[in-house]
Amino acid sequence: MCKHILNVQVAIRAPCCKQWFDCAECHAERSDHRLRRTNEMIFLCKKCKKAFRKDMSEYDEQDEYCPHCDNHYVLPAVEPKAALMVEGEDARVDSKMLKDERVKGDASRSIFTQDGSSRLG
């Protein structure tokens, strides 16, 4: 599973190591080499599970669709980080409540702050 792009529609076959990856970052994480760039990319549609190749040097709008099932596989990447940031919209309002309160550390005085004088350094 790709954790970089949540709505990934195709797997990409890396031309360098002949392995299937969901995105270039997945390849970077699992490989010790750079993804080789090539004009002819091989994709595997996740919808119909069929492979197809595309010449990236003459990539056209119609090439954004799977030739087997017409699945529109070129989608704007939805990244997990971006999804989290949506909830932070109104953070400005909440920030007023964040006063400069100093956390008192009394509770942390426990076994960790024992007098260590009896110990040999």
Tell me which residues touch Zn ion (CB under 5 A).
2, 4, 14, 16-17, 22-23, 25-26, 31, 45, 47-48, 66, 68-69, 71
Nearer to Zn ion, 6 or 85 (CB): 6
Q: How far is the CB of 77 from Zn ion (least distance, A)?
A: 10
Separation of alpha carbons 72 and 80, rounded Å: 21
Q: How far is the CB of 62 from Zn ion (least distance, A)?
A: 14
Sign of the dihedral through C-alpha 44, 48, 53, 59: negative
Tell how strand 10-13 and strand 51-55 pair up.
unpaired
Nearer to Zn ion, 11 or 23 (CB): 23
Q: How far is the CB of 30 from Zn ion (least distance, A)?
A: 9
Closest CA to 45 of 75, 21, 66, 22: 66
Provide the β-strand partners of residue 10: 45
Q: How far is the CB of 75 from Zn ion (least distance, A)?
A: 14
Nearer to Zn ion, 49 or 91 (CB): 49
Separation of alpha carbons 84 and 1, rounded Å: 19
